[in-house]
């Protein structure tokens, strides 16, 4: 999949492993898992390839987050994103929206 980042700090976390924005700093082990999870999304050709990877726990969200999808970084955090397929091509674009604390 092609990966697009909705927010600057998400792109910085992926590319540099850290962000200048103090509000969005995470523990090093969470950042490492975030990068690994984004790499798994990038390696997949489409969403269906994520289903067998049980550690990601892929799901479509409902309620006030309807229209978003998520995969787990770890037991506490998840990546929220939107996907769209480009017609006439087999390209899926995954737009990373946020990292959320799953239990807040």
Q: Check residue 15 and give its pLDDT.
A: 94
At the fourth CATH level, the homologous superfamily of domain 2-101 is RelE-like (3.30.2310.20)
Alpha-carbon distance values, 56 to 38, 46, 53, 64, 104 (Å):
11, 14, 6, 22, 19
* pLDDT digit string, tens, across residues 44-87: 988 889 999 999 999 999 999 898 999 999 999 999 999 887 76
Return the domain boundaries, the chain: 2-101
Q: What is the 3-state secondary structure (H, E, C) of 52-82?
A: CCHHHCCEECCHHHCCCEEEECCCCEEEEEE
Q: How much is the pTM?
A: 0.88
Identify whether the C-beta of residue 99 lies closer than 8 Å to the C-beta of residue 77: yes
């Amino acid at each position: 999949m092609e990966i697009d980042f909705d927010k600057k700090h998400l792109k910085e976390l992926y590319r540099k492993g850290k962000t200048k924005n103090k509000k969005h700093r995470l523990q090093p082990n969470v950042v490492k898992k975030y990068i690994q999870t984004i790499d798994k999304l990038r390696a997949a050709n489409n969403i269906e390839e994520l289903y067998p990877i049980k550690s990601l726990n892929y799901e479509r969200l409902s309620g006030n987050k309807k229209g978003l999808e998520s995969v787990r970084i770890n037991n506490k955090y998840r990546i929220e994103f939107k996907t769209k397929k480009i017609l006439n091509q087999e390209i899926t674009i995954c737009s990373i929206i946020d990292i959320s604390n799953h239990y807040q």
